[in-house]
């Protein structure tokens, strides 16, 4: 299972080429076809998983941006309230931001979204006493909604990658079963003839380090999309 998918594909191709040299052997022809089907399924599952991991990167960027613009939005509300009061620590600013902006802008993710919802409630309560409260409410509500959408997209992308990774692992298990079947069939067709048996199969661990590290990077990338 630790063999990189790209190496599995190479092993299958190598074996298929040698198996194809024995077209007169029905058993070997059948296992070659079965190996090709399993290798194709594994390649497709891997491609889908890699694409899903790549999508996580996009959703993480959107979450980061949403956090940035939301923080700026809260700071703008503070400036507007202080401007309406005519000084810092006035009635309006104290009412809508009783603890300042830090409890809102310091958290990230769902915690910040909840703090923004609380701010929306205070702004809504101020609409009758501060003319700017309604516009401020709409602004914060819009930013919070965008933030929550970004968080949901990231969560969905992470779940999709996790599901596709499981599907890829099942496809790899199937491939390994077929590869083992091919190995057993070759040994059955050429018993005690290791020289002929060795013709059919390439070295499993004769692979570039970069090939394996690329797959490990994909696994790490999936994990980083699961943050809060």
Indicate the SS3 state at residue 86.
Answer: coil
Task: Please report the pLDDT score of residue 215 as a whole number.
Answer: 55
| pLDDT tens-digit readout, 84-101 | 999 998 999 999 999 999
Task: Please report the pLDDT score of residue 221 as a whole number.
Answer: 58
Alpha-carbon distance of 156 to 56, in angstroms, equals 9
pLDDT at 228 over 50: no
| pLDDT tens-digit readout, 106-149 | 999 999 999 999 999 999 999 999 999 999 999 999 999 999 99
pLDDT band at residue 203 under the 50/70/90 scheme: confident
Inter-CA distances, 221 with 47, 152, 157, 172, Å: 15, 18, 12, 20
Mean pLDDT in residue range 149-154? 98
The domain in which residue 110 lies consists of 5-224
pLDDT at 212 over 60: no
pLDDT at 3 over 90: no
Number of domains in the chain: 1
Indicate the SS3 state at residue 191.
Answer: coil
- Here the tokens at position 138 are 């709409």
| pLDDT tens-digit readout, 16-59 | 999 999 999 999 999 999 999 999 999 999 999 999 999 999 99
Task: Please report the pLDDT score of residue 2 as a whole number.
Answer: 84
The torsion angles phi and psi of 140, rounded to 5 degrees, stand at -65, -40
| pLDDT tens-digit readout, 47-58 | 999 999 999 999
Contacts 24+ apart (CB under 8 A), 205-210: 205/3, 207/3, 207/4, 207/6, 207/7, 207/10
User: Under a CB-based contact definition with an 8 Å cutoff, are residues 132 and 84 in contact?
Assistant: yes
pLDDT band at residue 210 under the 50/70/90 scheme: very low
């Amino acid at each position: 299972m630790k063999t990189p998918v790209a190496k599995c594909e190479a092993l299958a191709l190598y074996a298929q080429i040698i198996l194809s040299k024995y077209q007169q052997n029905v058993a070997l022809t059948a296992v070659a076809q079965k190996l090709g089907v399993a290798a194709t399924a594994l390649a497709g599952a891997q491609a889908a998983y890699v694409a899903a991991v790549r999508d996580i990167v996009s959703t993480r960027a959107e979450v980061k941006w949403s956090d940035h613009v939301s923080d700026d939005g809260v700071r703008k509300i503070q400036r507007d309230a202080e401007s309406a009061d005519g000084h810092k620590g006035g009635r309006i600013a104290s009412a809508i931001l009783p603890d300042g902006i830090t409890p809102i802008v310091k958290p990230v993710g769902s915690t910040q979204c909840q703090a923004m919802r609380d701010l929306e409630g205070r702004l809504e309560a101020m609409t009758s006493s501060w003319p700017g409260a309604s516009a401020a409410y709409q602004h914060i509500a819009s930013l919070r909604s965008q933030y929550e959408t970004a968080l949901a997209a990231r969560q969905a992308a992470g779940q999709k990658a996790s599901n596709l990774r499981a599907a890829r692992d099942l496809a790899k298990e199937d491939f390994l079963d077929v590869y083992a079947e091919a190995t057993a069939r070759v040994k059955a067709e050429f018993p005690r003839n290791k020289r002929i048996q060795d013709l059919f199969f390439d070295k499993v661990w004769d692979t570039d380090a970069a090939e394996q590290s690329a797959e490990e990077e994909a696994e790490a990338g999936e994990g980083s999309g699961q943050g809060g």
